[in-house]
């Protein structure tokens, strides 16, 4: 037995050495292999579904067979859901390679707010990430069940004033756009609510539809799709939405709530990614978002698009960072 084993081991060692003779591939123009895109939310959620649409044309070739966007390389979606995006983004900044082949989808204000509230626990912030381009903007809307007694934002505010701490409001999670909207709502109306993080936008919607919570902040696109079962009372944005021209903004309803909670979605890289890669991405990715097929699918899916270039997103991040630091300064945890 022993001798036999030793023989086997020897033969196998020889095999292993022979195997390692192959060599690594040569460098070529960026990108020369598929790019991965980490999505910090589950498959089927709004971010995941939009990310899949906006990246679907990445490998597109024109009629002559020339690559249109990213050298004919596909973008592959990796879902890493958990804790409102913290799991996926933490992993992205801790384990991701800065070679331009590992990108992630961002959600603003989510990741900025989390980096402010949980410094130390959250490893990412605007300082170690590089925006590439923005594809969409989804404002938060205040919704109530169709059978609810609330018919306007004022009704909700009146109830909350008469019953402090009794108004339950659902949203996708903690320190995501919906939560920011609710914080601003509380501050502007001078009320106290019970915010219930539902664990996903769809779950938050379900709480309102099923009467588990009295009201909710949710994505405009999702609320728009369920509008026959809901009353949409107000939009947390600076102007009314094209999808819902009859719904007033919260500002029009007399509450000082601006567009800070609007959920911007886009693609980012790690700081330290080679300039050459960033340059290619900054030029090609917005063009890919504006592809006719992408625009058509996004429209069909009821997902509001807002394509912003790298410079525009950099400015937007900076501005949100400053505002959220101020809004969340009392909630900061060690």
Of 71-79, 150-158, 242-250, 265-273, the segment contacting other proteins by CB under 8 A is 71-79
The β-bridge relationship of strands 215-219 and 168-171 is parallel
Of 222-230, 238-246, 263-271, 282-290, the segment contacting other proteins by CB under 8 A is 222-230
**72 touching other proteins, by CB under 8 A:** no
Contact of 75 with 267, CB cutoff 8 Å: no
CA-based end-to-end distance of the chain = 61
Q: SS3 of 73, please?
A: coil
Contact of 296 with 49, CB cutoff 8 Å: no
Q: Is the dihedral of CA 128, 131, 134, 139 positive or negative?
A: positive
Of 45-53, 185-193, 241-249, 316-324, the segment contacting other proteins by CB under 8 A is 45-53
- Cα separation, 259 vs 277, in Å, equals 32
Q: SS3 of 200, please?
A: coil
Of 183-191, 221-229, 262-270, 276-284, the segment contacting other proteins by CB under 8 A is 221-229
Q: Where are the alpha helices (DSSP H) in 248-333?
A: 275-289, 292-300, 310-327
Give the total of residues touching other proteins (CB under 8 A): 68
Binding mask 10-29 for other proteins (x = CB under 8 A): -xx--xx--xx-x-x-----
Among positions 119, 164, 165, 274, the unique one binding other proteins when judged by CB under 8 A = 165
**148 touching other proteins, by CB under 8 A:** no
- Residues numbered 263 to 302 that lie near other proteins (CB under 8 A) are 297, 300-302
State the minimum distance, in angstroms, from the CB of residue 175 to other proteins.
8
| Burial status of residue 199 (CB atoms within 10 A of its CB: 0-12, 13-18, 19 or more) | middle
State the minimum distance, in angstroms, from the CB of residue 22 to other proteins.
6
- Cα separation, 87 vs 146, in Å, equals 35
Q: Which residues bind other proteins (CB under 8 A)?
A: 4-5, 7-8, 11-12, 15-16, 19-20, 22, 24, 34, 36, 42-45, 48-49, 52-53, 56, 74, 76, 78-80, 82-84, 86-87, 90-91, 114, 118, 121, 165-166, 168, 173-175, 194, 196-199, 202-203, 205-207, 209-213, 222, 225-226, 228-229, 297, 300-302
């Amino acid at each position: 037995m022993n001798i036999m084993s030793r023989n086997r081991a020897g033969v196998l060692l020889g095999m292993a050495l022979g195997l390692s003779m192959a060599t690594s591939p040569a460098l070529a123009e960026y990108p020369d292999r598929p790019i991965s895109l980490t999505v910090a939310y589950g498959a089927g959620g709004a971010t995941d579904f939009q990310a899949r649409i906006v990246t679907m044309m990445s490998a597109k070739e024109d009629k002559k067979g020339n690559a249109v966007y990213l050298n004919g390389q596909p973008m592959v979606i990796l879902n890493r859901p958990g804790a409102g995006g913290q799991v996926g983004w933490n992993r992205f900044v801790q384990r991701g390679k800065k070679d331009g082949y590992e990108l992630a989808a961002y959600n603003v204000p989510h990741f900025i707010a989390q980096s402010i509230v949980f410094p130390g626990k959250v490893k990412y912030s605007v300082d170690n990430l590089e925006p590439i381009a923005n594809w969409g903007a989804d404002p938060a809307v205040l919704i109530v069940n169709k059978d609810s007694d609330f018919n306007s934002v004022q009704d909700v505010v009146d109830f909350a004033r008469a019953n402090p701490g009794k108004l339950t409001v659902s949203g996708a999670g903690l320190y995501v756009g919906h939560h920011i909207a609710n914080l601003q709502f509380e501050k502007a109306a001078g009320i106290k609510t019970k915010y219930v993080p539902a664990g996903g936008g769809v779950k938050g919607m379900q709480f309102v539809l099923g009467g588990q919570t009295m009201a909710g902040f949710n994505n405009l696109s999702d609320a728009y799709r369920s509008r026959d079962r809901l009353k949409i009372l107000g939009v947390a944005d600076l102007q009314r939405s094209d999808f819902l021209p009859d719904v007033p903004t919260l500002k029009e309803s007399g509450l000082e709530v601006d567009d800070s909670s609007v959920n911007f979605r886009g693609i980012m890289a790690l700081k330290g990614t080679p300039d050459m890669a960033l340059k290619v991405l900054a030029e090609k990715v917005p063009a890919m978002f504006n592809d006719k097929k992408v625009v058509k699918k996004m429209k069909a899916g009821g997902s509001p698009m807002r394509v912003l270039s790298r410079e525009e997103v950099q400015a937007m991040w900076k501005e949100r960072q400053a505002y959220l630091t101020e809004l969340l300064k009392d909630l900061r945890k060690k």
